Amino acid sequence: MKIGVQLYTLRSLMENDLWGTLARLAEAGFRNVELAGLYDRPVEEWAEKLGEFGLKVSSSHTGINEVEGDLTDVLHVTKALGYSTLVCPWVPAEAYAGGWTALGKRLDAAGQKLAEHGIQYGYHNHSFEMVKVGLQTGLEQLFAASSGANVIAEVDAYWIHHGGGDPAAYIQNLAGRIPLVHFKDMAPEGHFTEVGDGVLDWDDIIESCRIAGVEHAIIENDSPRIDPLESVCRSREFLISKGLKD
C-alpha cells in the first residue's frame, strides 16, 4: 500500500507557489499525489514538473458533470499525466434528491463511459451519505446500484466515522472495488487532525485496507491547523511507522 497525498490539503501553499510546494513535497519524501485541479497551468507543464520532481499521479478528483459530456479534455489530461483513475469528490444535495439508487445508476453510466477508454471512475464519501434510508445508508445504496467494474470506492475514514460508521468495516465490505482510501484523522473535539493524532483506530483501518486490497493510502486534511506541508509530513511519518511505503 503506497502513501500518497491529496493536493487539496496543500491548496493554500500551491495557490502562492505551485511548483515550489510540489518540490518541497517531493523533498519530504512523497512520491504519489492525487490531483484536485491544475491551477490554470497547462497539463504539459504539469507533466514536465511532476517528472522533474519524481512525483506520480495516482488519481484525480473529477466531478460527475466533467465526465458526463465530452471527454476530450479529461482524456488528454489523464494520458499526459499517466494515470487512469478519476474520483467524484462530492455532489450537491440536488444530485441525490431523487434517491441514492438513482445517483448510483448515474455514476455507473459515467463509469461505463470512461471504462471504454481504460479509465476507472469512483466515488468519495462525506458523512451526509451515512444517513440511513430504510435499512441502508445512502452510501450503501449508491454502491449497490452501481457495478464494481464501473464505480470504485474511495472511502474517507474521517467522514465514515463522523457519520457514525466504522471505517474498517466499510473498507472490508467494499473489498475488490476499493483501490484508494483517504487517511484523515479526527481530533477528540471533532476537527480534522494529522493521521495518528486523533481518535480513529488506525491499526484496524490499515489491516482492513490490506485485507481489502487497497493500493493507495492517500493523506488528506481539509483544513490543517498547522502548516499544511508539516501536517502531511507528520501523517506520513506515522504511516511509515505502521509499515506503509511511499
- In order, the DSSP letters of 76-116 are HHHHHHT--EEEE----GGGGTT-HHHHHHHHHHHHHHHHT
Note the pLDDT tens digit of each residue in 130-160. Answer: 999 999 999 999 999 999 999 999 999 999 9
CA–CA dist 176, 127 (Å, integer)? 22
Q: What is the spatial distance between Cα 54 and Cα 179, in angstroms, rounded to a whole number?
A: 22
Sign for the CA dihedral angle at 185, 188, 193, 196 comes to negative
Distance CA 64, CA 168 (A): 27
Looking at residue 25, its pLDDT comes to 98
pLDDT band at residue 18 under the 50/70/90 scheme: very high
pLDDT in tens, 34-73: 999 999 999 999 999 999 999 999 999 999 999 999 999 9
Cell triple for 177: 472495488
pLDDT at residue 95 in the model: 97
Task: At 155, list the grid cell.
Answer: 472511502
Query: How far is the C-alpha of 93 from the C-alpha of 224, rounded, in Å?
Result: 26
Tens of pLDDT, residue by residue over 66-102, are: 999 999 999 999 999 999 999 999 999 999 999 999 9
Helix, strand, or coil (residue 49): helix
Concatenated DSSP letters for 169-196? HHHHHTTTS--EEEE-EE-TTSSEE-TT
Here the cell at position 41 is 497551468
Cα angle 89, 95, 96; round to 5: 100
Distance in angstroms (rounded) separating the CA atoms of residues 180 and 194: 18
Over residues 167-182, mean pLDDT: 98
Q: What is the pLDDT of residue 225?
A: 98
Give the closest residue to 186 by CA, choosing from 167, 214, 210, 206: 167
Pick from 154, 152, 243, 166: nearest CA to 206? 243
Q: How far is CA 226 from the centre of its chain?
A: 21
